[in-house]
Amino acid sequence: MEPRRRDLWQAWWRSFTVQGSWNYRTLVAPGVTYALLPLLRRIHSEEPERLQESVLRHLDSFNTHPYLSSLAVGALARLEFEGASDDEITRFRVALRGPLGTLGDRTVWAEWRPFCLLVSITLFGLGLNPLWCALVFLGVYNAGHLWIRVWGFRCGWQQGREVGRLLRAFPFQRFADRLWPVTMYLLGAATVLLGRAVVATSDGGTSSRWLLFIAGLMVVPAFRWPNQFGRLAVGLLLTIPILWILLALTG
């Protein structure tokens, strides 16, 4: 039986929760099955055994970026609706899980989110009201987020097994790939602006030129060896209060 508009809405809305029951063995499979359920119930409403078989199949290990889960939910529901065989659906799930995870991680986590965060941090550094900065980040970021979810679900449901072709030309990726020069520019600007704010908290207790020189010196090796220098920086942070106590004790 064809799903109603209400079932589609419910499945799309539920796709926001796919990681709610994330676990180390089946990953997002329970969440994706949870999102699929309104559609599966309708599609297999006359065959309860097929509903059980279908749920069992979808509970098998699956992975996707959370935002692109709507695409997986739409496409898998379309295959179920078209009466695809168990074997075909299983193969489709296996083929889908890799690209959905990688594409989402690369586009959203590595490109879109840093860009939006740095826009907001730079605006804050330039003196904009912090609450406005927070709203700018949430508004801009979630415009992209919601677009991916809507596009994914619509394409998944309309194209079914053809979504692989669509993913190769994922429009959001083309857009996000062009952002990196701006992101990097903002990263440099935000560093200086935040460094200035940190120096301002030291109440003139230290020279800003000296600090900028050290910061500039640290960026070069940190860029080359990010993990080692990241750990070194956190180690420094953890030891500063101890250093202060020792300095206070020694006068």
Neighbours of 155 (CB within 10 A): 19
Interface positions, 116-155, toward another protein (CB under 8 A): 117, 120-121, 124-125, 129-131, 133-134, 137-138, 141-142, 145
In angstroms, what is the minimal distance from the CB of 19 to another protein?
A: 5
1-60 binders of another protein (CB under 8 A): 16-17, 19-27, 29-31, 33-34, 37, 40-41, 51-53, 55-56, 59-60
226 binds another protein (CB under 8 A): yes
Q: Of 6 and 158, which has the nearer Cβ to another protein?
A: 6
Nearer of residues 9 and 180 to another protein, judged by Cβ: 180
DSSP 80-143: HHTT--HHHHHHHHHHHHHHHHHHHIIIIIIIIHHHHHHHHHHHHHTT--HHHHHHHHHHHHHH
Contacts of 187 (CB under 8 A, 6+ apart): 114, 118
Q: What's the closest the beta carbon of residue 162 comes to another protein, in angstroms?
A: 26
Taking CB under 8 A as the rule, does residue 209 contact another protein? no
Exposed, middle or buried, 90 (CB in 10 Å: 0-12/13-18/19+)?
middle
Q: Is 232 in the site for another protein (CB under 8 A)?
A: yes
Q: What are the residues whose beta carbons fall under 8 Å from the beta carbon of 34, sequence distance 6 or more?
A: 14, 17, 18, 20, 21
Q: Which is nearer to another protein, 126 or 162 (CB)?
A: 126
The interface mask with another protein, positions 77-106, x = CB under 8 A, is ------------------------x---x-
Q: What are phi and psi of 128, to 5 degrees?
A: -70, 150
Per-residue contact flags (x/-) with another protein for residues 162 to 191, judged by CB under 8 A: ------------------xx-xxxxxxxxx
DSSP string, 107-118: IIIIIIHHHHHH
Considering the complex, state which of residue 158 and residue 213 has its C-beta at the smaller distance from another protein: 213
